[in-house]
Amino acid sequence: MATELSSKKAVGIFSKPNKPEVAHIMPGLMEWLCAHGYDIVVDPQTAPYAKSAPCVSREELGARELKFVIVLGGDGTFLHAARVVAKSGTPIVGVNLGSLGFLTEIPTDELFSTLENIEKGSATLDVRSMVHCEVTRNDSTIASFEALNDVVVGKGTIARLNHCDVYIDKVFVSRYQADSLIVSTPTGSTAYSLAAGGPILMPDVQAFVITPVSAHSLTHRPLVVRDTSQIEIVVMTGLEEAYLSIDGQAGMPVLDGDRVFCRKSQYQVKLLHTKDTFFDVLHSKLKWGQR
């Protein structure tokens, strides 16, 4: 669909740290943005290559009123940026400097044509759902997170199976014994969940996928549930601790008896891109459709 962007001509730039390609891209990118009347603000990782632009923390950058943000890096950089800008609703342009790049799908040689399309209002805007996660301990909420890809309850430092009781809308589902348990969004269905044998969901499917990793029982298969559901994971580790991971980046240790609640987030992530359909991305990244 056509883009609906802020009227303010300002753009933010996030970059992957210590990525040599950023030094090569930034001069031309700065020149293009300035020529088209954009104010530019950058994160600390980009600042060495954009000395004339104001530099602020990523959190402050995400809170600013921007027309869009440009992410130079891989999907990890994109995920960090997405969590930062989700509350402001700023669209993201993901430029792939990595290898696979499901989210940073724009190759460097298409960056300026994509920006021209954005400038003309003809770029495609996708809206992706997120998952909200809360951790409770002794009936008190001790942490909360937003994730674009997934929430994972995994093993701590001890190499043993995790035990988790799972409830959907307070109805008991099963006791899982596995290395990890993944709750993924449709966007995250092509990430860790896919590697663990989960299904691929189209981005606009209103669902979550619960995927066990290396489950002790062969009958424990990936489970698709509506995203209006609340998923409750009760951690059962005895004296050991497990670890909660958010998009493979943020997280915290969790203890025996902790409860991890997952539900659809009130926030969304907006992606500006050039691919016509989700299947074009699968053709490009997973080599589907090749003969």
191, 201 contact by CB (below 8 A):
no
Q: In angstroms, rounded to a whole number, what is the distance separating the alpha carbons of residues 113 and 111? A: 6
Q: In angstroms, rounded to a whole number, what is the distance separating the alpha carbons of residues 12 and 175? A: 45
CA 218, 196, 198 angle in degrees (round to 5)? 85
Of residues 247, 240, 249, 245, the one with CA closest to residue 260: 245
Partners of 59 in beta bridges: none
Q: In angstroms, rounded to a whole number, what is the distance separating the alpha carbons of residues 81 and 92? A: 8
Coil, strand or helix: which one is 160? coil
Q: In angstroms, rounded to a whole number, what is the distance separating the alpha carbons of residues 28 and 254? A: 46
258 catalytically annotated: no
Tokens matching residue 20? 């040599």
Partners of 236 in beta bridges: 163
Q: In angstroms, rounded to a whole number, what is the distance separating the alpha carbons of residues 233 and 136? A: 10
Selected catalytic residue, list 75, 126, 247, 258? 75
Main-chain phi, psi angles of 182, to 5 degrees: -110, 135
Q: Report, as residue numbers or ranges, the catalytic residues.
A: 75
